[in-house]
Amino acid sequence: MKGNRRHCCGLTLVELLVVIAIIGILVALLLPAVQSARESARRTQCTNNLKQIGLAFHNYHGTHQVLPPAYVSQPGGGGLHGTPDPNTRDAGPGWAWGTLLLPYLEQSALYNTFDFARPCWDAANAVPARTSLSGYLCPSAPGRTDQAFPVVSGGGTPLATFARSCYVVNAGQDEPWLHAVDSYEGLADGPLYRNSRTRVADVLDGLSSTVFVGEHHPVLSDKTWVGVVPGATACPKPAFAFGPCEPAAILVNCHSGPCSYANPPTIHPPNSWTAAPCQMFAEHPGGCNVMLGDGSVRFISEDIHQPTWAAMSSRAKGDIVDQF
């Protein structure tokens, strides 16, 4: 009968709200898993970058019988190399480890566009110096890491524009760049520093226990693979402005502490609360990736035993590296 016909009806408002609430709960449950999977993929890419850098280091050593220095400076300067910075004794040409490794990272074409007879900041090198390389960038680092950044003096004067790097090399425990000397020999106890000529045989503490390269994301301060400009400074980003600015060397270098002059002695493991531009710092939850001297890559916890981290940063002090 007509009076008994049943009519189809849509969802009531209450039912619709229940469905929306259920979907919201499911999304909230799934989102952390999705984010974790994405971070895992990004961290894997960072690991692969470091493995390729490790191979490049050893191929460079095979060719030159020494590891590449953190950067190159002509003692006493002169000519195109300029007058040494009175505070650090840095002078040109300034080329850094990242540039020296280019032929060993399938970047010979880019390498050949640089004029190595001139300093890294010379106008003749401006275009290749701005070239972004995915192999030197970590996808976990936020923002436009593929954009070049201005290298400035302590007074804010632009000195050059360089491509970014998310990786820095380890100078050891102390900060040799705070000493106005022409040579860091006897000051730098790590493997890679200004004008270093470290051989694999010089790493007496063991290649598998010594950090060569680690992450430093631009969320804390900008780094580059190109080179070091005398008189430049590297400052923490506004979110970390409680930390000090540092000399030009830390555009490519880092250290672990403790320093010979520090009182009390301070060691800053990855992601340390000190947030110093001269330390390792990554956007990975819980720590950062490092490349050891044997070319292997390890994830180092930000909660690592601090003396162990310092021991991993020196190359030949005989200090003990516990499990890490």
Dump pLDDT digits (tens) for 252-276.
999 999 988 878 889 999 999 999 9
Q: Rounded to an integer, what distance in angstroms lies between the CA atom of residue 127 and that of residue 114? A: 9
5: left (phi over 0), alpha (psi -120 to 50) or beta: beta
SS3 content of the chain, % helix, strand, coil (to 5): 30, 15, 50
Task: Average the pLDDT over 199-217 and give the result.
Answer: 97
β-strand partners of 73: 93
Q: Which of 4-13, 83-92, 315-324 has the lowest mean pLDDT?
A: 4-13
Question: Is residue 32 over pLDDT 70?
Answer: no
By the 10 Å C-beta count (0-12 exposed, 13-18 middle, 19+ buried), 53 is classed as buried
By the 10 Å C-beta count (0-12 exposed, 13-18 middle, 19+ buried), 141 is classed as buried
**This prediction's pTM:** 0.87
Contact between 97 and 68 under an 8 Å Cβ cutoff? The reply is yes
Q: Is 29 helix (H, G, I), strand (E, B) or coil?
A: helix
User: Which residue blocks in the chain are alpha helix, DSSP H?
Assistant: 13-64, 97-100, 108-111, 126-129, 306-313
Task: Average the pLDDT over 169-180 and give the result.
Answer: 96
Q: Which of 13-17, 232-236, 309-313, 317-321 has the lowest mean pLDDT?
A: 13-17
Question: Is residue 230 over pLDDT 60?
Answer: yes
Q: How confident is the model at residue 13 (pLDDT cuts 50, 70, 90)?
A: confident
Phi, psi of 146 (to 5 degrees): -80, 0
**Cα diameter, the chain:** 107
Residue with tokens 């850098």: 53
Task: Average the pLDDT over 77-93 and give the result.
Answer: 96
Q: How confident is the model at residue 306 (pLDDT cuts 50, 70, 90)?
A: very high
- Which pLDDT value is given to residue 209? 95
Task: Average the pLDDT over 96-118 and give the result.
Answer: 98
* Residue 70, number of CB atoms within 10 A of its CB: 32
Q: How confident is the model at residue 31 (pLDDT cuts 50, 70, 90)?
A: low
By the 10 Å C-beta count (0-12 exposed, 13-18 middle, 19+ buried), 99 is classed as buried
Mean pLDDT of the chain: 91
- Which pLDDT value is given to residue 21? 79
Task: Average the pLDDT over 3-32 and give the result.
Answer: 68
- Which pLDDT value is given to residue 1? 43
Residues whose CB is less than 8 angstroms from the CB of residue 256 and which lie 6 or more positions away in sequence, other chains included: 170, 172, 173, 211, 267, 268, 269, 279, 309, 310, 312, 313
Kindly report whether the peptide bond that precedes residue 230 is cis, defined as omega within 30 degrees of 0: no
Q: How confident is the model at residue 222 (pLDDT cuts 50, 70, 90)?
A: very high
- Which pLDDT value is given to residue 35? 56
Task: Average the pLDDT over 294-315 and give the result.
Answer: 96
Kindly report whether the peptide bond that precedes residue 277 is cis, defined as omega within 30 degrees of 0: no
